[in-house]
Structure 1
């Protein structure tokens, strides 16, 4: 799947989807002198692109809705971009390069970008379609959850990952004492894909102190009807029941890739692309959460931003280096909770582990190294040095010379590393053990 021909400024570029990936791509294109002159965007939502990452603080009442807007409609017009809102593409005629929308409109294209994002995955359990079951993905969802918080009662969040915890905290903060919030996590610990056991325990303790009920190792079996089509409780696989006036599902996402699949593009779990985001049709590209590259699908913005850089260059007639996978760091967007993590959650036999924990402040740091290079970190509480650790991991820096200072943060470690590079024959040593626990 290689780009068959150099893109031309005179070609008509159409982008399906007007989410964050599309908007980031547009911002990159309008800055380029060789940008396509004709750009059309078809977005299903009735408003221009907005920052979905900020839905959690919006729900918590920490931001006003306008703070999420990336650009208003005038920006598109000023940059000669035709924006169609409240409509969706229902079919692609690849032979004639035509799109058909839900409204029945026909749109021709020379180059097409599919950036349709993803949708929440709903568990296949009885009662999942009852009234009172919600997701947390867009502005309409945020409005619905705000109404839940104001009504009070019992809200149950399905999923103890990033989005589920952000939704739970937003509900708790907005609903106050009138709303009881519970989180069900199938794994034995919260954020099991990002955190080790210690950090997950610290996070759980913090959320419990705020009044959120946490149920780990809890598998959902069914949602119960109150007799009028409204959810009234959830049943767990162990038979327990929890009262639930509302249920918020935040347990993974499914790529919105059906449009590509129906049009005959190569498809696996999502629309398959190569390193230049080209699909099996050389005139069609896929970007973000609806695409799949080398068995990877996406749910965080950092890799999508790197995809945007590559695709923008391709669409402007350049020949950029291919997109490559890279580690991604995780940060939780919950007010008053500082968390930073990347890499493996648990050490393997080949890993060297450095660990620090202060029971008084609650600060926790665990680093994993392999052959002197940092491959993973979990920080809870004091996360100031997280970005520095992440930079060293991305650069595959040999940190042997400053290993004994790594737990003390970036400043001392970087100084020792710089001194070692200036004087490579000097050997640094320290009596510190590999595992350091605060008294």
Structure 2
């Protein structure tokens, strides 16, 4: 059994749909007052590409800076933010997420400048969620007050592990004491607004060790936990270590046990699972990440960032998938020359958009309700598309999927098998959509 894990939902990468991003353009979503409202708002992701070192497992778009170019990077992030917000013509930004890389390497004034740029272009209310990813080093912790003072109201802290030996093996530049001290300081500043990332499936990790570590963390953590399954990525140092036999990874069966064990433990501690990897209590769900999973628009700024929005200023009527130039120096040059570093744009046809809504929505424990699906598919209901499928019926009979008056969602057991069920749902969506087009 393989669980369906993404390491991050922030948009330094395309969340969950890389294999569908190049599908041909079909028709656009039929316009309605409800769907029109989808273009009025967006969330904003800002990518800081720099780290002081590269972790052994990391294949994200990160770079080790050769010199301090924060001033020019800050100016370019401001300019691209301004350009893309004007292009989208959204009237409101509902949340901002500073990811990376290591955005906690930035000076607080850089964060302040970007937020000021947003406020000048659109409405950014005092209630908007503003998240900063924090590497729990003494340097990162020392700047938390200043980040909070300039507008950050949620911290996402990259614990990854509470075992110092494991942290060293993963190439992290903090220890468990650093992490705990950073958490304590963050909780003082943003009570109820602190999330902790922790990773399982690490080298030589057992289910028993994982359970003890998670229980230890839950004695001190705040109201939100993100679990990430460590996956081997080609080209990383960890991949080479495993290939050469220096390091042994847990089997898929063991990592599946770890995931199920963690879900149970978190539930016992009062956390409710609201997405494959995310757990919250006291209504502290990440509103920014929920915007991805519910198919809302988002604008991606910075090297390698991804976005999904309608370019209304250019007369656009369909949503585009946008990818910014990866390499920071090239991106900087492009932003200076033309105001943005968009390297690729793909118009999303109706089927493309429905695939995204399906894949992302099924990550949530509540799944996709009928009213929400209707925003994107007013002519094709969930019951029409999936109700008559024999393959879907088999999943329903096994108790892995639920299709009822509420909508379509995974059961408790099914959520752990989402990765294997999504192809069934996508094939059925494609088949039904093709038949509908042929009939018309």
**TM (normalized to structure 2)?**
0.30
The structure carrying a bigger helix percent of its residues is 2
**TM (normalized to structure 1)?**
0.30
Q: Larger C-alpha radius of gyration, 1 or 2?
A: 1
Q: Which protein, 1 or 2, shows the higher relative CO under an 8 Å CA cutoff with sep ≥ 6? A: 2
